[in-house]
Structure 1
Amino acid sequence: MKKTALVTGASSGIGYALAERLAADNYDLILVARSKEKMDAMKAAWPDLSVKVITKDLSKQGAAKEVYDEVKWAGLVVDLLINNAGFGLVGAFQSLPIEQQSNMIQLNCTALTELTSYFLPDLRSRSGKIMNVASTAAYQPGPFMAVYFASKAYVLSFSEALSEELNGSGVTVTALCPGPTHTQFGAVAHAENIKMFSRTMNVSDVASAAYRALMKGKRVIITGRLNYVGALAAKLLPRAWGAKTVRMVTGSKKTK
């Protein structure tokens, strides 16, 4: 019996690369993103698969439930859930519009949590898999990306806790923690010129490592050796030091 995977943020970056890997493994797909044109092109590229396109902005309240309802209306059952959609912003907390930061929390945390809740009964009935895309940002506070770093800390903590809750149920939960990756994230976050993005991993390499970890049911995957070392150092060092280190790599100066 063929399996179905739902991927959010599927039209670009890590989501797109993971959708490609799933298509190569003959998964039917449910693609969720804002860009219908890009997803329609992906669907056309995989004519032998069943691909459902759902155009949705998950940063809007209630959007996750609308996705779930549309999937159920189509009579589809999800075997694999990849909560990839997310974005970040660079800047002092007080200088960034609170509406944008609230949307970030809604997308990075709330929609991810809601989709996991809605689809968990499907996944439990089919010994399914969940991947939540966190970040190496989850391991320390992030001055000048304060809400983004905090949101990814939530994703990692939630994923690890849920993995333990579901231990023995047949459902695995994997938290993907990439470092800076060559995607559109930097442009959206206005982060292309900060030190943090001076070196980025190839998105295909990140997706390949993530996919292997997902299939093995690993609890956490940090992509890239340097990123792994950095995350380990963040665990060992005092959090105040971690915050100062992030401040240096964001290239931001002290605000008054």
Structure 2
Amino acid sequence: MPRTDYCGHTVIVTGASSGIGASFARSLAARGSNLILVARRVDRLEALAGELEKAHGITATVIALDLTSPTAGRDLKAAADAAGVRATSLINNAGFGTFGDFIDEDPARLAQEIAVDVSAPVQLSAAFLPDIIAAGGFLINVASMAAYAPTPRMAVYGAAKAFVLSFTESLWAELRGTGVTTFVLSPGATSTEFNAVVGTDDATAGAKMRTPEDVVTTALAHLESRNPGPSVIDGATNRAAVSLMRLISRRSTAKMMHRMTDPARRSGSKVPAAADTSA
């Protein structure tokens, strides 16, 4: 019997129009949660909302929002209030990455990356935590395996996800005793639009892909566990890799990751400008 009463929650899912976000939405709807689906591609959100309402009898509210906005948290709270819905849980899933040497990146694009990957989870957590605490809900922030090691050619993305990891683990400690379940979810290479938008598999170094459903299954199993810790890594291979990285020097890890992300390792690869999973 799950310890979480999904039927009693209205869950915000950002980046809900594809990939892990859409899988979260489907899994939560099947468990009886109402949803607030957030992304930029409103047509996809509306199609998903209709599918889930018809299949599960839940209510799915669609809110189109640009998470690069410096007022994203306040804007989403205002939009939810205007729609007459009160969120009791939050999954900060939206994010995007860039791939290539830092010196060649567009500073404006990097600023957007930081806004979506770092600022938005902080803003949304601040905006909705009072309601989440009052409802005894949950807060899940999605990081990445990139959070655990230097990530050459994805330097800003890796640093952003390291921030999400540290931020969420700190919230876990602060929120103990409040009735809120908080943790950070770190997927590895996953079959989403990430590499397709990037234009190269070098962004995931040719790693074997997990599915979005695998990732969500890991997250919800952790959520339903008796005493959830501050973080969970999806996949046994990924967990083993993190354990190994803790045993070797940062110098060695950085050099190893630089080799792994080298486009010259893979025939026919190319280095594009950006990968966007904020959907």
TM-score range (shorter-chain normalised) is over 0.9
Matched residue, 2:235: 224
Matched residue, 1:192: 201
Secondary structure of 1:236's aligned partner: coil
| Length-normalised TM-score, structure 2 | 0.87
Secondary structure of 2:185's aligned partner: strand
> In the TM superposition, what is the alpha-carbon distance from 1:129 to its structure 2 partner?
0.4
Matched residue, 1:38: 44
Q: Which one-letter code corresponds to 1:24 in the other structure?
A: A
Spell out the pairing of 1:106-255 with structure 2 (5 A cutoff).
106-193=115-202, 196-216=205-225, 217-252=228-263
Matched residue, 1:80: 89
Spell out the pairing of 1:83-102 with structure 2 (5 A cutoff).
83-102=92-111
CA contact (8 A) 1:194 1:251 kept: no
Secondary structure of 2:8's aligned partner: coil
CA distance in 2, matches of 1:110, 1:188: 22
CA distance in 2, matches of 1:213, 1:195: 25
Q: 1:195 to 1:23 in 2, by over 3 A?
A: closer
CA contact (8 A) 1:194 1:249 kept: no
CA contact (8 A) 1:90 1:190 kept: no
CA distance in 2, matches of 1:11, 1:158: 25
**Larger RCO (CA under 8 A, 6+ residues apart):** 2
The question of 1:20 aligning with 2:26 is answered: yes
Q: Which one-letter code corresponds to 1:229 in the other structure?
A: A
Unaligned runs of 5+ in 2: 1-6, 265-279
> In the TM superposition, what is the alpha-carbon distance from 1:193 to its structure 2 partner?
4.2
> In the TM superposition, what is the alpha-carbon distance from 1:188 to its structure 2 partner?
2.8
Residue-pair matches, total: 253
Unaligned runs of 5+ in 1: none
Matched residue, 2:275: none
Matched residue, 2:62: 53
The question of 1:29 aligning with 2:53 is answered: no
| Length-normalised TM-score, structure 1 | 0.94
How large is the RMSD of aligned CA atoms in angstroms?
A: 1.5
CA contact (8 A) 1:186 1:192 kept: yes
